[in-house]
C-alpha cells in the first residue's frame, strides 16, 4: 500500500496487517467499571469515568465485517427507526453480550446472523480491536473479521432497516475523518463523523472505524 494512498489498500495487505496486530484477548475493562477505556480525548475520558460511577456498564460486542472483494468493503447496517436506542443510526452488526454467549466473539457472530443473516460459514474472525466506551454506558468490544463474498443477507426488520457496503479505502482515509464536538457537563468531548453519500456515519461507529485505522494502517 502506498503510505498516503488509502485507495491502494488491498484485501491481502489489510488482512495481513490485522492478523499481525490483533489477538483474541478479552480486556478486563469490558466488565470492570473501574477500568476506563482510553479514547485519546480528555473530554471523552472524563465523560466515561463519570458514567462508570453513575450507572452500570453494559458489555457489548460488534462485528467489523470486512468483505474480501478486489477493493475491500465494510458491511454496515442502519438500525430500525423504531428502536429505543440509536434509532436510525449507522452501526456494525452487534449488541449486548448475553449470558449464553461463550465469548464476545460468539456474541458478535450471533448478532450478525440475527440482524442481517450473515452466517458464520462466510466469516473468518481475525481478532479483537480496542475496547470502546460510549455515552450510553456500553463497553463495546469489536471483532475484526474477513468475510468471504457470496453471502446472501436476510434483513431482520425488527432490528435493522438496511445493510450496505462502504469501501474500506474511504473509511480508512483520514481525510474523511471529520471531528465534531459536544459538551458533557461543562467539558467538551470530541467525536468522529464520516459522511458517505447520503449515509451519515458518526458516533461510536465512526469512532471504532478511526481506531481500526490507527491500529491497522497508521501504526
pTM over 0.75: yes
Tens-level pLDDT at each residue, the chain (219 residues): 545 565 567 889 999 999 999 999 999 999 999 999 988 888 888 888 898 998 899 999 999 999 999 999 999 999 775 655 554 689 999 999 999 999 999 999 999 999 999 999 999 999 999 999 998 889 999 999 999 999 999 999 888 989 999 999 999 999 999 999 888 777 788 899 999 999 999 999 999 999 999 999 987
Question: Cα angle at 184 between 183 and 185, to 5 degrees?
Answer: 115
CA gap 215, 36 in Å, rounded: 19
Asked whether residue 32 is domain-assigned, the answer is yes
Asked whether residue 14 is domain-assigned, the answer is yes
Asked whether residue 65 is domain-assigned, the answer is yes
Q: Which three cell numbers stand for residue 211?
A: 481506531
The secondary structure of 162-182 as a DSSP string is EEEEEEHHHHT-GGG-EEEEE
* Dihedral sign (CA 1, 195, 64, 123): negative
CA gap 161, 64 in Å, rounded: 18
What pLDDT does residue 87 have? 47
CB-CB neighbours of 96 under 10 Å: 13
Q: What CATH number does residue 138 fall under?
A: 3.90.79.10
Number of domains in the chain: 1
Whole domain around residue 77: which residue ranges? Answer: 6-217
Asked whether residue 200 is domain-assigned, the answer is yes
CA gap 159, 52 in Å, rounded: 27
Asked whether residue 183 is domain-assigned, the answer is yes
Of 78, 73, 91, 94, the residue nearest 165 (C-alpha): 73
- The per-residue b/e assignment along 100-135, b for 16 or more CB within 10 angstroms, e otherwise, is ebeebbbbbbbbbbbbbbbeeebbebbbbbbbbbbb
Asked whether residue 1 is domain-assigned, the answer is no
Which whole-number Å values give the CA distances from 106 to 99, 109, 120, 218, in the listed order? 11, 5, 10, 28
Asked whether residue 189 is domain-assigned, the answer is yes
What pLDDT does residue 164 have? 96
What pLDDT does residue 2 have? 46
Chain length of the chain = 219
Asked whether residue 129 is domain-assigned, the answer is yes
Amino acid at each position: 500500500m502506498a503510505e498516503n494512498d488509502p485507495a491502494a489498500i488491498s484485501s491481502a495487505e489489510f488482512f495481513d496487517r490485522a492478523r499481525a496486530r490483533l489477538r483474541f484477548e478479552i480486556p478486563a475493562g469490558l466488565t470492570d467499571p473501574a477500568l476506563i477505556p482510553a479514547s485519546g480525548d480528555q473530554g471523552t475520558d472524563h465523560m466515561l469515568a463519570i458514567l462508570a460511577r453513575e450507572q452500570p456498564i453494559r458489555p457489548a460486542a460488534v462485528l467489523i465485517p470486512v468483505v474480501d472483494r478486489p477493493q475491500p468493503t465494510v458491511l454496515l447496517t442502519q438500525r430500525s427507526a423504531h428502536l429505543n436506542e440509536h434509532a436510525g443510526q449507522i452501526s456494525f452488526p452487534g449488541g449486548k453480550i448475553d449470558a449464553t454467549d461463550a465469548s464476545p466473539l460468539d456474541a458478535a457472530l450471533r448478532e450478525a446472523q440475527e440482524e442481517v443473516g450473515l452466517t458464520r460459514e462466510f466469516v473468518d474472525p481475525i481478532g479483537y480491536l480496542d475496547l470502546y466506551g460510549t455515552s450510553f454506558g456500553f463497553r463495546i468490544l469489536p471483532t475484526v473479521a474477513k468475510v468471504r463474498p457470496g453471502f446472501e443477507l436476510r434483513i431482520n426488520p425488527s432490528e435493522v432497516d438496511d445493510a450496505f457496503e462502504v469501501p474500506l479505502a474511504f473509511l480508512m482515509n483520514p481525510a474523511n475523518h471529520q471531528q465534531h464536538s459536544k459538551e458533557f457537563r461543562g467539558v467538551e468531548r470530541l467525536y468522529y463523523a464520516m459522511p458517505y453519500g447520503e449515509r451519515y456515519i458518526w458516533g461510536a461507529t465512526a469512532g471504532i472505524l478511526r481506531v481500526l485505522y490507527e491500529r491497522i494502517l497508521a501504526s
